[in-house]
Chain A
């Protein structure tokens, strides 16, 4: 009965050590998360974005489908826990549809070994297609997670820390503001046009395109004038192009440690994927 204790102790030792170290790390993370002054951010956004980018690149290097699928499952569980599941699944629909199409097309056209499931399929195509499917949905779920948990301006500021050219960041911060205004104004103008008998069901392709383009043209010309006025007002109030918004705190030891842990985790995962 006690054979498990008296025979090879290696597996037992490994599982005991890893379990208890994980228990200690888990408790430490929990304490850090609920500590006063912590705004619920476990990871610094700079580390988070770098981690995400490296992880997505690593996913494209992976040769086995089950690792990306594992990452997708973890992301889905996090989405459930963070109560963003509905938003998460809605955004995932498009990449999942595309990924399934790739599996079908690769399975039908790519390879030499044919198998028959009612229709002829190629095993190589199915293998490569399912790998692409797994990679695609894993990468998409990670990107959706990042945006759901990180405000846009935080991402932009993090990019500034990574020395992304200031002009690009200024353009992107203005752009994100204009996109929202644009959508709202376009809707209002469309309603206004509809109330004046535009976009009728009877109108043909040319007329519809004319209506859409006249809204866009009017929006662009109006917005150009408005944007210039607002921008001049910003300049007169001391705003400078490429000045940044706030000085960044240097990364503290804990953040660096977390970054190191994540980077090592990715490397180990990639290593295991290659060895299998």
Chain B
């Protein structure tokens, strides 16, 4: 995921630096407050920083994107020390990695944004969301998986914005798909790794940010297995399609040919998509449908 020097255009270098500096400043404020209250917080933080450095330095080159794939480690760090502190330590880790030609000095801002900010906050958000409804290991694992995938989606966006400003959406998809063959297995590895590490730490030492979670029921397990399976099938299918020259056009032409003639041009679906755009529109449809199905599931089963 580390973008090297010389890839991003100067305006994007400054843009990502500006955003990252804001988060680093906030993180430093929080860290300084914590150190005043508990001086031993400093070595704990540095230790987790060393863990992030070691985890994120194992990299595999990714042919399509001109970047690399590796576990990110920031979701694990954000669970142990909090997301703002994770931003600061990931910036420091990236600074050191720049000197071993992994990443770059001018791209620390962009890399901190993807790995430190999006990876840490995304992972932490997922962890907090799942912690109270699932076992601790599962919440931590999902944080690792989500943090890892979000980091790479962000890197793909950063590359598309800087290298191909004329057609950002197409190249974002292209770079994201380029990461899939290496990053998808690594994200699952990060799921297992984060889950085991947090489980181990929670069983052997009482760290304040890590509290036991809840067991996972059968319904949730089935839903998650289905979600993983379907997402993987779609991702692999899209990748195979891209290799076969499908150009990631999706099913638009099929839909237009079969459904459009009988669809009302002023219908709510058409209007929603034109207002929100496709990704947000589909997300809204997914959320509404999911909430409705989940809410009435037990009742529907009882009736059947």
- Are B196 and A213 in touch, CB under 8 angstroms? yes
* Chain A residues with CB below 8 A from B44, complex form: 224, 227-228
Say which one of B58-66, B213-221, B264-272, B280-288 lies at the interface with A: B58-66
Chain A minimum-CB-distance residue to B100: A91
In the bound assembly, the distance between CA atoms of A138 and B174 in angstroms comes to 27
- Are A175 and B5 in touch, CB under 8 angstroms? no
* Chain A residues with CB below 8 A from B49, complex form: 171-172, 174-175, 178
| A192 at the binding interface (Cβ < 8 Å) | no
- Are A136 and B164 in touch, CB under 8 angstroms? no
Q: Please report which residues of chain B, range 154-207, place their CB below 8 angstroms from some CB of chain A when the two chains form the complex.
A: 163-164, 174, 189, 192-193, 195-197, 199-201, 204-205
Instruction: Give the most central of A91, A167, A230: most B CB within 10 Å.
Output: A167
The tally of residues in B whose CB lies under 8 Å from a CB in A reads 66
Among A136, A167, A235, which residue has its beta carbon within 8 angstroms of that of B31? Answer: A167
Please report the number of residue pairs spanning A and B whose Cβ atoms sit closer than 8 angstroms: 208
- Are B104 and A92 in touch, CB under 8 angstroms? no
* Chain B residues with CB below 8 A from A172, complex form: 49, 92, 95-96
Give, as a whole number of angstroms, the nearest-CB distance from A274 to chain B. Answer: 13
In the bound assembly, the distance between CA atoms of A174 and B88 in angstroms comes to 14
Give, as a whole number of angstroms, the nearest-CB distance from B164 to chain A. Answer: 6
| B102 at the binding interface (Cβ < 8 Å) | yes
- Are B46 and A99 in touch, CB under 8 angstroms? no
* Chain B residues with CB below 8 A from A205, complex form: 189, 192
Q: Please report which residues of chain A, range 163-177, place their CB below 8 angstroms from some CB of chain B when the two chains form the complex.
A: 165, 167-168, 170-172, 174-176
The tally of residues in A whose CB lies under 8 Å from a CB in B reads 70
| B153 at the binding interface (Cβ < 8 Å) | no
- Are A144 and B50 in touch, CB under 8 angstroms? no
* Chain B residues with CB below 8 A from A134, complex form: 6
- Are B64 and A105 in touch, CB under 8 angstroms? yes
* Chain A residues with CB below 8 A from B205, complex form: 221, 224
- Are A213 and B43 in touch, CB under 8 angstroms? no
Chain B minimum-CB-distance residue to A96: B101
Chain A, residues 129-164, CB within 8 Å of chain B (1/0): the string is 000101111111001101100000000000000000
* Chain A residues with CB below 8 A from B67, complex form: 98
Q: Please report which residues of chain A, range 75-120, place their CB below 8 angstroms from some CB of chain B when the two chains form the complex.
A: 91-92, 94-95, 97-99, 101-102, 104-106, 109-110
| B84 at the binding interface (Cβ < 8 Å) | no
* Chain A residues with CB below 8 A from B88, complex form: 167-168, 171
| B139 at the binding interface (Cβ < 8 Å) | no
In the bound assembly, the distance between CA atoms of A169 and B12 in angstroms comes to 26
* Chain B residues with CB below 8 A from A136, complex form: 4-7
In the bound assembly, the distance between CA atoms of A228 and B40 in angstroms comes to 6
* Chain A residues with CB below 8 A from B197, complex form: 213, 216-217, 220
- Are A168 and B28 in touch, CB under 8 angstroms? yes
| A32 at the binding interface (Cβ < 8 Å) | no
**Given contacts A213-B196, A213-B197, A214-B196, A101 and B63 within 8 Å (CB-CB):** yes
* Chain B residues with CB below 8 A from A241, complex form: 35, 39, 42
Among A102, A105, A128, A176, which residue has its beta carbon within 8 angstroms of that of B96? Answer: A176
Chain B minimum-CB-distance residue to A109: B174
Instruction: Give the most central of B8, B61, B199: most A CB within 10 Å.
Output: B61
| A191 at the binding interface (Cβ < 8 Å) | no
Give, as a whole number of angstroms, the nearest-CB distance from B36 to chain A. Answer: 9
| B289 at the binding interface (Cβ < 8 Å) | no
| B240 at the binding interface (Cβ < 8 Å) | no
* Chain A residues with CB below 8 A from B13, complex form: 57, 60
| B235 at the binding interface (Cβ < 8 Å) | no
- Are A227 and B47 in touch, CB under 8 angstroms? yes
Chain B, residues 1-17, CB within 8 Å of chain A (1/0): the string is 00011111110010000
* Chain B residues with CB below 8 A from A221, complex form: 200-201, 204-205
Chain A minimum-CB-distance residue to B45: A171
| B149 at the binding interface (Cβ < 8 Å) | no
* Chain B residues with CB below 8 A from A230, complex form: 43
- Are B46 and A174 in touch, CB under 8 angstroms? yes
Selected A-B contacts with CB under 8 Å, 26 pairs: A60-B8, A91-B100, A94-B61, A95-B101, A98-B66, A105-B66, A109-B174, A110-B163, A110-B164, A134-B6, A136-B4, A136-B6, A139-B104, A144-B100, A168-B28, A170-B42, A171-B45, A171-B88, A174-B43, A175-B93, A175-B96, A182-B54, A209-B193, A216-B197, A217-B199, A218-B204
What 7 A-B pairs come out closest when comparing CB atoms?
A135-B6, A217-B200, A139-B5, A213-B196, A174-B46, A178-B50, A102-B66
Chain A interfacial positions (CB closer than 8 Å to B): 52-53, 56-57, 59-61, 68, 91-92, 94-95, 97-99, 101-102, 104-106, 109-110, 128, 132, 134-140, 143-144, 146-147, 165, 167-168, 170-172, 174-176, 178-179, 182-183, 186, 205-206, 209-210, 212-214, 216-218, 220-221, 223-224, 227-228, 230-232, 235, 241
Chain B interfacial positions (CB closer than 8 Å to A): 4-10, 13, 24, 28, 31-32, 35, 39-40, 42-51, 53-54, 59, 61-68, 80, 88-89, 91-93, 95-96, 98-102, 104-106, 163-164, 174, 189, 192-193, 195-197, 199-201, 204-205
